[in-house]
Amino acid sequence: MTQQGSTPVDGGWSVTIASVRFEHHREAFGIGENRPRLSWIVATSMARWRQVGYEMKAYGPDGRLRTQTGRIESDQSVLVPWPLEPLSSRERLTVRVRVWGSDGQPSAWSTHASVEAGLLHTDDWTARFVTPDWEEDTTRPQPAPLLRREFDVHAAVTRARLYVTALGVYEAHLNGVTVGDDVLAPGWTSYNHRVHYQTFDVTDLLREGHNAIGAILGDGWYRGRLGFNGGRRTIYGDRLALLAQLEINYADGTTERIVTDETWHAARGPILASDLYDGETYDARLELPGWSKACYDDRGWVGVRRFDRDLTTLVAPSGPPVRRTELVAPVAITPSPSGRTIVDFGQNLVGRLRLTVQGEAGQTITLRHAEVLEHGELCVRPLRTAQATDRYTLRGDVVETWEPRFTFHGFRYAEVEGWPGEVHADDIRAVVCHSDMERTGWFECSNPLINRFHENVVWSIRGNFLSIPTDCPQRDERLGWTGDIQVFAPTACYLYNGAGFLASWLADVAAEQNTADGVVPFVVPNVLPMPPIPAAAWGDAAVIVPWVLYQRYGDDGILAAQFESMRAWVDRIDSLAGEGHLWNTGFQFGDWLDPSAPPDQPADARTDPHMVATAYFARSAELLGQAAGVLGRKEEEAHYLRLAAGVRAAFDAEYVTPAGRVLSDAETAYALALQFDLLKTAEQRRHAGRRLVELVRESGYHISTGFVGTPLICDALCSVGEYNAAFHLLTQRECPSWLYPVTMGATTIWERWDSLRPDGSVNPGEMTSFNHYAFGAVADWLHRTVGGLAPAEPGYRHLDIQPHPGSGLTYARARHLTPYGLAECTWTIEGEQIEVVVVVPPNATTSVTLPKGNGTTIQVGSGTYRWVYPYHAPSHPPRSLDSTLDELIDDPEAWNTVVRTIRQQLSGLARHMDIGTLMLQNSHMTLEQVLSLLPPTDQVRPALEAVLATVGRVGVEGTG
Residue 582 CB, shortest distance to ligand BGC, in Å, is: 22
C-alpha 860: how far from chain center: 32
Residue 54 or 538 having the CB closest to ligand BGC: 538
Residue 593 CB, shortest distance to ligand BGC, in Å, is: 8
d(C-alpha 9, C-alpha 645), whole Å: 47
Residue 779 CB, shortest distance to ligand BGC, in Å, is: 17
Report in angstroms the alpha-carbon separations of 403 from 282, 284, 327, 400.
10, 12, 12, 10
Stretch that binds ligand BGC, among 94-102, 476-484, 492-500, 736-744 (CB under 6 A): 476-484
Residue 188 or 307 having the CB closest to ligand BGC: 188
| Cα-only R_g, the chain | 30
Stretch that binds ligand BGC, among 423-431, 469-477, 561-569, 909-917 (CB under 6 A): 469-477
Residue 454 CB, shortest distance to ligand BGC, in Å, is: 21
Of 101, 483, 557, 609, which one interacts with ligand BGC (CB under 6 A)?
Answer: 483
Report in angstroms the alpha-carbon separations of 778 from 99, 251, 490, 541, 785.
38, 57, 10, 17, 10
Residue 767 CB, shortest distance to ligand BGC, in Å, is: 6
User: Sheet containing 441-445: which strands, arranged edge to edge?
Assistant: 441-445, 811-818, 821-830, 833-840, 863-870
| DSSP 3-state of 1 | coil
Stretch that binds ligand BGC, among 271-279, 471-479, 849-857, 861-869 (CB under 6 A): 471-479
Of 481, 496, 738, 740, which one interacts with ligand BGC (CB under 6 A)?
Answer: 481
Residue 146 or 485 having the CB closest to ligand BGC: 485
Stretch that binds ligand BGC, among 1-9, 479-487, 721-729, 931-939 (CB under 6 A): 479-487
- Chain positions 753 to 772 lying near ligand BGC, rule: CB under 6 A, are 767, 772
d(C-alpha 191, C-alpha 239), whole Å: 13
Asked if 472 touches ligand BGC (CB under 6 A), the answer is yes
Sign of the Cα pseudo-torsion (82, 84, 87, 93, in order): negative
Residue 602 or 808 having the CB closest to ligand BGC: 602
Omega cis (within 30) before 699: no
- Chain positions 305 to 344 lying near ligand BGC, rule: CB under 6 A, are none
Asked if 477 touches ligand BGC (CB under 6 A), the answer is yes
- Chain positions 577 to 606 lying near ligand BGC, rule: CB under 6 A, are 589, 592
Sign of the Cα pseudo-torsion (309, 312, 314, 319, in order): negative
Annotate each residue in 709-728 with x if it binds ligand BGC (CB under 6 A) or - if it does not, as one string: --------------------
Q: Measuring CA to CA, which residue among 174, 173, 249 is closest to residue 205?
A: 174
Q: Exposed, middle or buried by CB within 10 Å (0-12, 13-18, 19+), for 910?
A: middle
Residue 25 contacts residue 318 (beta carbons within 8 Å): yes
Instruction: Point out which residues pair with 58 in neighbouring strands.
Output: 67, 95
| DSSP 3-state of 65 | strand
Report in angstroms the alpha-carbon separations of 425 from 174, 299, 331, 332.
33, 43, 8, 8
Asked if 471 touches ligand BGC (CB under 6 A), the answer is yes
Residue 767 or 809 having the CB closest to ligand BGC: 767
Instruction: Give the single-character DSSP code of 122.
Output: G
Stretch that binds ligand BGC, among 32-40, 252-260, 480-488, 824-832 (CB under 6 A): 480-488
Residue 807 contacts residue 786 (beta carbons within 8 Å): no
d(C-alpha 877, C-alpha 948), whole Å: 12
Residue 421: what residue type? G
Residue 537 CB, shortest distance to ligand BGC, in Å, is: 9
Residue 298 or 591 having the CB closest to ligand BGC: 591
Residue nearest to ligand BGC as judged by C-beta position: 471
d(C-alpha 408, C-alpha 276), whole Å: 6
Residue 93 or 527 having the CB closest to ligand BGC: 527
| DSSP 3-state of 518 | coil
Residue 491 or 846 having the CB closest to ligand BGC: 491
Instruction: Point out which residues pair with 392 in neighbouring strands.
Output: 282, 365
C-alpha 668: how far from chain center: 23
What do you get for the CA distance between the two ends of the chain, in Å? 36
Residue 743 contacts residue 733 (beta carbons within 8 Å): yes
Stretch that binds ligand BGC, among 75-83, 322-330, 470-478, 882-890 (CB under 6 A): 470-478
Stretch that binds ligand BGC, among 309-317, 475-483, 831-839, 944-952 (CB under 6 A): 475-483
DSSP string, 416-475: EES-SS---GGGEEEEEEEE-PPB-EEEEES-HHHHHHHHHHHHHHHHHEESEE-S-SSS
Instruction: Give the single-character DSSP code of 580.
Output: G
d(C-alpha 796, C-alpha 149), whole Å: 51
Mark out the alpha helices in 775-861 (DSSP H runs).
779-781
Residue 194 CB, shortest distance to ligand BGC, in Å, is: 23
Residue 478 CB, shortest distance to ligand BGC, in Å, is: 9
Number of residues that bind ligand BGC (CB under 6 A): 10
Annotate each residue in 249-278 with x if it binds ligand BGC (CB under 6 A) or - if it does not, as one string: ------------------------------
Asked if 776 touches ligand BGC (CB under 6 A), the answer is no
d(C-alpha 595, C-alpha 610), whole Å: 19
Residue 677 CB, shortest distance to ligand BGC, in Å, is: 25
Residue 387 CB, shortest distance to ligand BGC, in Å, is: 19
Q: Measuring CA to CA, which residue among 717, 540, 559 is closest to residue 619?
A: 540
Backbone angles phi, psi at 849, to 5 degrees: -120, 115
Residue 475 or 733 having the CB closest to ligand BGC: 475
Residue 523 CB, shortest distance to ligand BGC, in Å, is: 8
Instruction: Give the single-character DSSP code of 679.
Output: -
Asked if 476 touches ligand BGC (CB under 6 A), the answer is no
Stretch that binds ligand BGC, among 126-134, 292-300, 478-486, 782-790 (CB under 6 A): 478-486
Residue 304 or 383 having the CB closest to ligand BGC: 383
Residue 403 or 608 having the CB closest to ligand BGC: 608
Residue 711 CB, shortest distance to ligand BGC, in Å, is: 13
Q: Of all residues in the chain, what percent are helix, strand and coil, respectively (each to 5)? A: 30, 30, 45
Residue 764 or 942 having the CB closest to ligand BGC: 764
Residue 82 or 589 having the CB closest to ligand BGC: 589
Active-site positions read 477, 751
Residue 751 CB, shortest distance to ligand BGC, in Å, is: 6
Residues that bind ligand BGC (CB under 6 A): 471-472, 477, 481, 483-484, 589, 592, 767, 772
